Amino acid sequence: MAVTDEAIHKIKEMILAGELSAGDRLPPEKELSEKLGLSRSSLREAVKALEIIRVLDVRRGDGTYVTSLEPALLTEAVSFIVDLHQDKSVLEIFEVRRILEPAAAAMAARHITPEQLAALRRSMADVGEDTSVEELVNHDLVFHGQIAAAAENSYLASLLDGLSSNTVRARIWRGLTQEKAVSRTLSEHAAIADALERGDADLARALLTVHISGVEQWLRQAL
């Protein structure tokens, strides 16, 4: 194991063991490096790496703190990576979405509240064939995000949010617009919402699978 990797591992072990908790300030560099049996330079590299993935927050002139460790914070890097991939690797991202989103829909069917259903319906109310691509992208992000949120699993919702790329969605909606497929896509959204309203987890899962698979197939042909 590289020295920096060892340093990262040891800091992670401190968090897992409860020696460091969310919001805690790390001991001074000299003290921590001696405690972990590491050079100060190795420790600095580890802190930099953990800052990038939002595990640590380096506050100049104050110290280094463990972040809130909230799922939304820790999955920000996923969103960054997704936006960088514009080639066929995007299909692998859709494969992950095809696995996770139907499961989220099934969970949402069991937990979604009347208020969440109303918000989901509102997100669909003013969307149609003549809606701009930008508005369609926003609708798509909101629609899928609301379903993930209703699943009541913050880690799943955050991961799916990280897999949501505005860039990729804009490309897809432009293609659907050109192929006159917007109404079909929106009708699929409506059917998913109906299944959620009925609390039918199996149907919601099936409809989301078909919905993601259809977009994935279009993307395979477009690439």
DSSP secondary structure, 79-110, as one string: HHHHHH--STHHHHHHHHHHHHHHHHHHHHHH
- What whole-number distance in Å separates Cα of residue 2 and Cα of residue 189? 48
Q: Are residues 98 and 156 in the same domain?
A: yes
Q: Are residues 45 and 87 in the same domain?
A: no
Q: Are residues 194 and 121 in the same domain?
A: yes
Other CB atoms within 10 Å distance of the CB of residue 164: 20
Q: Are residues 110 and 177 in the same domain?
A: yes
**pLDDT at 11 exceeding the cut of 80:** yes
- Which whole number is the average pLDDT over 182-201? 94
3-state SS assignment for residue 66: strand
- Which whole number is the average pLDDT over 104-116? 97
Q: Are residues 35 and 95 in the same domain?
A: no
Q: Are residues 40 and 140 in the same domain?
A: no
**pLDDT at 156 exceeding the cut of 80:** yes
Q: Are residues 166 and 57 in the same domain?
A: no
**pLDDT at 1 exceeding the cut of 60:** no
Assess contact for 215 and 172: CB atoms under 8 A.
yes
Closest CA to 80 of 156, 170, 168, 163: 163
Confidence (pLDDT) at 23? 92
Q: Are residues 157 and 65 in the same domain?
A: no
Averaged confidence pLDDT in the chain? 87
- What whole-number distance in Å separates Cα of residue 36 and Cα of residue 90? 40
Q: Which of 123-137, 151-165, 199-213 has the highest mean pLDDT?
A: 199-213
Confidence (pLDDT) at 128? 86
What's the CATH number where 161 sits? Answer: 1.20.120.530
Assess contact for 136 and 173: CB atoms under 8 A.
yes
Residues paired with 64 in a beta bridge: 58
Question: What domain range is 41 assigned to?
Answer: 3-69
**Tokens encoding 81:** 């990576």
Q: Are residues 131 and 182 in the same domain?
A: yes
- Which whole number is the average pLDDT over 135-145? 91
Q: What is the pLDDT of residues 42-98, one digit of tens each?
A: 899 999 988 888 889 999 889 999 998 887 776 766 666 666 665 667 788 888 899
Q: Are residues 120 and 82 in the same domain?
A: yes
Cα within 13 Å of Cα(88), Cβ side: 3
Q: Are residues 51 and 98 in the same domain?
A: no
Q: How many domains does the chain have?
A: 2
Cα-to-chain-centroid distance, residue 18: 27
Q: Are residues 178 and 156 in the same domain?
A: yes
Measured torsion, CA atoms of residues 140, 146, 148, 152, in degrees rounded to the nearest 10:
180
- Which whole number is the average pLDDT over 163-190? 82
**pLDDT at 105 exceeding the cut of 90:** yes
Classify burial at 12, counting beta carbons within 10 Å of its beta carbon; exposed 0-12, middle 13-18, buried 19 or more. Answer: middle
Out of 37, 69, 101, a domain closes at 69
What's the CATH number where 45 sits? Answer: 1.10.10.10
**pLDDT at 126 exceeding the cut of 70:** yes
Closest CA to 112 of 148, 144, 140: 148
Out of 41, 69, 97, a domain closes at 69
